[in-house]
Structure 1
């Protein structure tokens, strides 16, 4: 093992922390990656630990980021600071990632990139840099990073695996909701008493009165910076200090404030100037200082002699608390004066955003010219994908806007951007603030819309429904296009929620509102989609005709990406409810691909769920499993696991996985955000019914199926619960109990006329009839379902027909049909129903041989998924983009796949997986 430099004496008492850092450095030297968040109070030693890591990481390339409080609103400032010296590697990134990062860094113009696509691009860039030698990324004062940079680095930290990258971040404890809290954490606490005493002896080696020594120890509470600084303070030398409950950070900042105020006025002004312009640009500071008539060399010499500040190649404060003290000790009038000097010293053509920010801080009164400049800065930040930054600039612009109406409109726009950035609490605060100003009727509608979207996203689909509906109604006369989009989103939310308490608003309420709108003389496909969906929700099967017209339009036309991402989710959902299987298959595939290529990761969870459900009905459970893995990976990096949970709920019962299905049902039932949504009952009870029918527990299936079918207006899984009711009742010999379900399915099938609809109707009809009528229905069901491509239900039709043949005494025909059914179900992975076919064959006297489960594969689920994608011809970057991993991590997993399968090349993966 290579010898490392000896740790610095400044790390006295940090054996545990240093050992943890050494272990991480060693693992990254071995080719892995890691991330760690160091957190603790100000002055506790986080920065010293970062420096320790930099010393120990011999042979590493080191990249540094320091959060800057005044730049917390400059979008992607932190990420740009980290990656600025690596931009020559941008050409190595896949085109969508390269474009996203270049747009974020204002290196190119384009549509605002999705923040997760920027995160993936940053991960890929760092991995590419680390391919040359290990990379150590040090992020200090992370509490002052701009929000989008913090989110990006949190994404990177969660997805690091085998790139040779170590990401170490330092964060104060007063930022409990910070995005970087998602990373593995190490708390940095105060030094033990004997170490604190040793450090105090080093910092004050002269004879110190024992009473003062004990007061210093009590006040510092093991904080290294306090132990170094407090003995130098006038208060302690005078013996007037005493231990209090005030935080050490506050106490130290107050002491630094006293030391700053002890300097000459000119030196205080220089420190204030440097504190206001925290980038440390010496040439900029000199220009601004000249405008303030400061003698820079004299003031800088006094500041350096005070051990508070240096001004050499860069302007640096000894500690961020000194910066806070220098800025906070000045009166507001002087703060505004230095901001004005800095603004005048900045070239507006080179850095208009920073200039506008300083001008905003240089004024205490509302000024439209400055507010308008901030609006321009906000627009540029939004174009780069920095929604939170854009919102912050708009918020400040609103504060400086003289006109109350314009102030309200800008505050509302800031709230809209905060909502889009996922900052829901801040969005609500701004919405409340906007209401204090005069708003137009259009703005009132927009306020309802944003509040409804926030409630739907942060609480549940049902929580936001009333406000979405209110906004849509208000917008009808003001902005018909926006009203149409809002009705669309309200209907999708209502159908997603299922049955809800009446006071919360229901799908029927939304449908009634849509149908009350005066119809267009020349309706578009969007109009037809809304009309057809609303009529179906309202119980009018005649809605199928306009719905089918609309779906044909969506399938046949190329849509602009924004339009497609907005309308295809509802179109996919309604293709399912209209029994148009081919259309559902085509549109769901297009939606997933479009969302992925566009980087629209907000749409991707729904797209995955819609496509996964389609593939399960098709009997393609392997693709369903792959989509579930992608949905789970997306949930891991983006949060929000609802779509992944529902995807697992659709898949697991068909696979016959008892424990997994039960665990998913428990997880969904425990989600407090979903407790008022009827979809929870419908979906979980449908899953329980499928699982029970597959295992031959038909009484249990009948009970669950009835609960799942309790609200037919939900359509979707409520409809499919009726199929489970029909089968369970038939197998129990109580076909009359399936009467309502069968009649409902038949009526919908007649209205649709598709093979899927008529095949399903024939399937349930066969279950509850007898004799030649039953056989005719079985034959029709199998033919139509096979032709429609609904493989899972078609295979079940073969199974129940085979069981019916056995029950009818036609043993030979029954065995032949059951053997075919088992082959179909087993090939699909529909394990429980396949087992049911084997059981039936066994009772007929056919010896059966059960093959070993696919679960015996030596590959982990992630390795298997990567292997399947590689076998399909995808490159490592393409696989990484799909799974939100770096190409280097994909390559690492593939090496393990090769070892486990005993192969040497990608060409051998496919044959090995199929063997």
Structure 2
């Protein structure tokens, strides 16, 4: 078995892919077996060749492929210590690999100290929490150290140290033997006590040993070959480390010099005068290259310095190009700290905020934006700051706050820069819709278009307004705007999500082919460009499209991938929507348990964050689930709540939350025809206003089901089928056929009922809609209809 090791250190947390390089460079020979795209991405990320990483996914997949290839040669044991201090990109890469190891011949062990902080390890990975030693285990340790200690004192020691092995060892070896036989002894060597013990040792070293020890603590490399020239520049040698080695503060081996414990680093730094620290960092910078040299220069520069700031800015841009947005954000922030010019400092703070947002860190984004806004109050710059800040609020689930930030900024700049104001309003439309404020969203869209003042508004304005008008039921206006959008365009990465809005609008106005084209285009661009936030939202909408077009398997796969990305990036709003889209398919397929679990999670997101739209989505899906399983009263309860919430929010688009048919049918099944007719009148008004084929098919379906004579029923079902012919939606077509068959049976046309029933069951079987194809079919069979699963070649023209 071959062992690969890496360990984190706080001083290296800003060096992109530092830990990944430690693990992967020893198996570089296996890079040749990777696909060209993956190999190039991996080598760029590890600084082995120049270039820009266009897909973080390619880097992660390449790392997994290289390790798998190496494992085929010799099984791998991958050990990573102090995972919490790894650079963010290495953390992401390792978690990607750990989640996907299946048949590969490798074992991965990650160790970390949480110190009360949330763990970055996802819950699906097997986790072993190491508790403190028990008293019997501590007794074994004392015996192994040849230390005599009474039971009473050992009990106190384990209790006071919480069983911490290091503290127990330090106490047993540092406490006089006489004290270990008493019932009361001095505090155990843990935390501050351990630091004090090490401080006492460090303070007793000569100046030469102290500086040499700090050099080890500050250096990125633990290789003596790298350390020796730096020590030489400082007038020191490796032998100056001998006293520290004898004091067991570090371990010196031919290939590596390591500190005994991470806490030792803090003690060494605290005991090294600032003047000596600066001298060591200058020596390290003199021997380093590339961005590592930049960081050493920053460490030895005490005051703002534009030269160092420029070097840090270049390192930040390089980290961005390598797809490491978090490291890029932190580096832009350091560049801003060293910048002397106010406007340049503000721009670098905004760059830090932007990269932090792309890295999923909404808190840092907002903080950087606030700092930038205080430095530069130029209206256009302020508008850009507010866009970034608002997107961070959306990422954190604070949709109402995002809308307020954007609309205030737009109002403040509208008189002097109408184009910038229109863009701000366009940004406000999506979070406004997520928060369930449909009338306000309409108003914002109207202002957005008015300020744009163009016959062909730019993509942000056109896509956002088209989606807003569709949700509001203003379908003709939405269609007129959406038809003018170039769905093959590739906007800048920062504005890519507006093209996804266009895809959403095309779904709502029943242009499914155009929706599919634009959404797949966005997915392709997002994958190549490494834009996982846009990817998650777009794949969620692809799942919605799959529902309508009957491609449930592909839609479910898209929704599941969207959910994984959204959870990893903590896109809380997208998590809720993804759960709803997946839950709707679960409900139609008869997986009630999974559907209800998803709706619980969506409801939790709505309760914790400003996701008012979930008040309609969640009960609508639960109503479909209950209706399909035959729980009519439960379906009525859920769907009535969805109906109430939809009317309260101003939602007027039947395709936004397709529950109107479920609501009407639930009341019909419950025998409450009065409420069913009231809901049917509401749905009829929406169908007439929007002109959507789906809405028209639904109302005709249930007018046909409620009809008391054969002629009227047939006329309504004929109009329903004509609407389905305009815009095919397989699941809804099958439901219309079921209702038609039921109506014909009730009106004593049993032979005529067979074809629609057979055709409905065939479609349900194709979709995998088990509760609809089985429970309903068996119900009708009990009434005496022997149905065949063989479809008729064409619909009969006469009964």
> How would you bin the TM-score normalised by the shorter chain?
0.7 to 0.9
Q: What is the root-mean-square deviation in Å for CA atoms of aligned residues?
A: 3.8
Q: Partners in 2 of 1:701 and 1:220 — Cα distance?
A: 57
Q: 1:602 aligns with which of 533, 555, 558?
A: 533
1:86 equivalent to 2:39? Answer: no
Q: 1:846 aligns with which of 781, 785, 788?
A: 785
Matched-pair contact (CA < 8 Å) for 1:66–1:78? yes
1:326 equivalent to 2:268? Answer: yes
Q: Are residues 536 and 629 of structure 1, via their aligned partners in 2, closer, same or farther at CA, if it must alter by over 3 Å?
A: closer
Query: What pairs up with 1:8-27 in 2 under 5 angstroms?
Result: none
Residue aligning to 1:255: 197
Query: What pairs up with 1:127-166 in 2 under 5 angstroms?
Result: 127-166=68-107
1:384 equivalent to 2:322? Answer: yes
Residue aligning to 1:788: 727
Matched-pair contact (CA < 8 Å) for 2:471–2:656? no
1:686 equivalent to 2:686? Answer: no
Residue deviations 1:610-639, cap 9 Å, x none?
222222223333434444454455567666
After superposing the two structures, state which structure 1 stretch, 188-197 or 646-655, moved more.
Answer: 188-197
Q: 1:670 aligns with which of 577, 582, 604?
A: 604
Residue aligning to 1:532: 466
1:447 equivalent to 2:389? Answer: no
Matched-pair contact (CA < 8 Å) for 2:479–2:509? no
Q: 1:369 aligns with which of 304, 307, 330?
A: 307
- How many residue pairs match? The answer is 775
After superposing the two structures, state which structure 1 stretch, 811-820 or 587-596, moved more.
Answer: 587-596
Matched-pair contact (CA < 8 Å) for 1:343–1:359? yes
- CA apart distance, 1:435: 5.0
Matched-pair contact (CA < 8 Å) for 1:745–1:761? no
- CA apart distance, 1:563: 8.0
1:800 equivalent to 2:739? Answer: yes
Residue deviations 1:641-685, cap 9 Å, x none?
434411222212222344443333333223355564332221122
Q: Are residues 595 and 437 of structure 1, via their aligned partners in 2, closer, same or farther at CA, if it must alter by over 3 Å?
A: closer
TM-score, normalising length from structure 1?
0.76
Matched-pair contact (CA < 8 Å) for 2:214–2:268? yes
Matched-pair contact (CA < 8 Å) for 1:708–1:718? no
Q: Partners in 2 of 1:475 and 1:561 — Cα distance?
A: 23
Residue aligning to 1:493: 431
Residue deviations 1:135-182, cap 9 Å, x none?
101112323211221232223223222212111122224262242364
Matched-pair contact (CA < 8 Å) for 2:587–2:625? yes
Matched-pair contact (CA < 8 Å) for 1:742–1:761? yes
For the residue of structure 2 that corresponds to 1:82, the secondary structure is helix
Q: Partners in 2 of 1:490 and 1:676 — Cα distance?
A: 14
Q: Are residues 209 and 116 of structure 1, via their aligned partners in 2, closer, same or farther at CA, if it must alter by over 3 Å?
A: same
After superposing the two structures, state which structure 1 stretch, 355-364 or 249-258, moved more.
Answer: 249-258
Query: What pairs up with 1:575-590 in 2 under 5 angstroms?
Result: 575-590=506-521
Residue aligning to 2:394: 456
Q: Partners in 2 of 1:202 and 1:575 — Cα distance?
A: 72
- CA apart distance, 1:458: 1.8
Q: Are residues 251 and 795 of structure 1, via their aligned partners in 2, closer, same or farther at CA, if it must alter by over 3 Å?
A: same
Matched-pair contact (CA < 8 Å) for 1:534–1:543? no
Q: Partners in 2 of 1:589 and 1:808 — Cα distance?
A: 47
Residue aligning to 2:337: 399
Matched-pair contact (CA < 8 Å) for 1:140–1:169? yes
After superposing the two structures, state which structure 1 stretch, 541-550 or 360-369, moved more.
Answer: 541-550
Q: Are residues 649 and 192 of structure 1, via their aligned partners in 2, closer, same or farther at CA, if it must alter by over 3 Å?
A: closer
For the residue of structure 1 that corresponds to 2:128, the secondary structure is strand
Matched-pair contact (CA < 8 Å) for 1:526–1:550? no
For the residue of structure 1 that corresponds to 2:659, the secondary structure is helix
Residue aligning to 2:716: 777
Residue aligning to 1:824: 763
After superposing the two structures, state which structure 1 stretch, 757-766 or 659-668, moved more.
Answer: 757-766
Residue aligning to 1:267: 209
Residue aligning to 1:192: 134
After superposing the two structures, state which structure 1 stretch, 151-160 or 829-838, moved more.
Answer: 829-838
For the residue of structure 2 that corresponds to 1:653, the secondary structure is helix
Residue deviations 1:687-713, cap 9 Å, x none?
233334445666654554343234354
Q: Are residues 587 and 708 of structure 1, via their aligned partners in 2, closer, same or farther at CA, if it must alter by over 3 Å?
A: farther
Residue aligning to 2:64: 123
Q: Partners in 1 of 2:460 and 2:114 — Cα distance?
A: 50
Q: Partners in 2 of 1:100 and 1:701 — Cα distance?
A: 51
- CA apart distance, 1:449: 2.4
- CA apart distance, 1:546: 1.8
For the residue of structure 1 that corresponds to 2:93, the secondary structure is helix
Q: Partners in 2 of 1:397 and 1:238 — Cα distance?
A: 56
After superposing the two structures, state which structure 1 stretch, 838-847 or 324-333, moved more.
Answer: 838-847
- CA apart distance, 1:432: 4.3
Residue deviations 1:459-505, cap 9 Å, x none?
354443322444555676888777666544432333333248x9xxx
Matched-pair contact (CA < 8 Å) for 1:762–1:781? yes
1:651 equivalent to 2:562? Answer: no
Q: Are residues 437 and 172 of structure 1, via their aligned partners in 2, closer, same or farther at CA, if it must alter by over 3 Å?
A: same
Q: Are residues 243 and 573 of structure 1, via their aligned partners in 2, closer, same or farther at CA, if it must alter by over 3 Å?
A: farther
- CA apart distance, 1:378: 1.1
1:465 equivalent to 2:396? Answer: no
After superposing the two structures, state which structure 1 stretch, 765-774 or 734-743, moved more.
Answer: 765-774
- CA apart distance, 1:131: 1.6
Q: Partners in 1 of 2:416 and 2:106 — Cα distance?
A: 53
For the residue of structure 1 that corresponds to 2:589, the secondary structure is coil
For the residue of structure 1 that corresponds to 2:444, the secondary structure is helix
Residue deviations 1:44-85, cap 9 Å, x none?
xxxxxxxxxxxxxxxx11101021221111111111111111
Q: Partners in 2 of 1:250 and 1:844 — Cα distance?
A: 81
Q: Partners in 2 of 1:369 and 1:549 — Cα distance?
A: 51
Matched-pair contact (CA < 8 Å) for 1:416–1:427? yes
For the residue of structure 2 that corresponds to 1:65, the secondary structure is strand
1:809 equivalent to 2:740? Answer: no
Q: Partners in 1 of 2:238 and 2:766 — Cα distance?
A: 81
Q: 1:744 aligns with which of 662, 685, 689?
A: 685
- CA apart distance, 1:522: 4.3
Q: Partners in 2 of 1:610 and 1:162 — Cα distance?
A: 32
1:430 equivalent to 2:368? Answer: yes
Residue aligning to 1:63: 4
Residue deviations 1:210-245, cap 9 Å, x none?
999999888766444445445665x85998999677
Matched-pair contact (CA < 8 Å) for 1:796–1:821? yes
Matched-pair contact (CA < 8 Å) for 2:394–2:402? yes
Matched-pair contact (CA < 8 Å) for 2:362–2:392? yes
- CA apart distance, 1:357: 0.9
Matched-pair contact (CA < 8 Å) for 1:706–1:721? no
Q: Partners in 2 of 1:67 and 1:81 — Cα distance?
A: 10
Matched-pair contact (CA < 8 Å) for 1:533–1:547? no
- CA apart distance, 1:107: 3.1
Q: Which has the higher contact order (CA 8 A, sep 6+)?
A: 1
Q: Are residues 359 and 243 of structure 1, via their aligned partners in 2, closer, same or farther at CA, if it must alter by over 3 Å?
A: farther
Q: Partners in 2 of 1:161 and 1:422 — Cα distance?
A: 28
1:615 equivalent to 2:546? Answer: yes
Query: What pairs up with 1:749-764 in 2 under 5 angstroms?
Result: 749-750=690-691, 756=694, 759-760=697-698, 762-763=700-701
Q: 1:336 aligns with which of 278, 284, 288?
A: 278
Q: 1:280 aligns with which of 210, 222, 232?
A: 222
Matched-pair contact (CA < 8 Å) for 1:579–1:757? no
Residue aligning to 1:308: 249
After superposing the two structures, state which structure 1 stretch, 184-193 or 389-398, moved more.
Answer: 184-193
Residue deviations 1:554-607, cap 9 Å, x none?
2xx353684884233212211122122332344344444554555543233333
After superposing the two structures, state which structure 1 stretch, 616-625 or 820-829, moved more.
Answer: 616-625
Q: Partners in 2 of 1:658 and 1:709 — Cα distance?
A: 21
Residue aligning to 1:661: 595
Query: What pairs up with 1:498-577 in 2 under 5 angstroms?
Result: 498-499=436-437, 506-524=440-458, 527-537=461-471, 540-550=474-484, 553-554=486-487, 557=488, 559=490, 562=493, 565-577=496-508
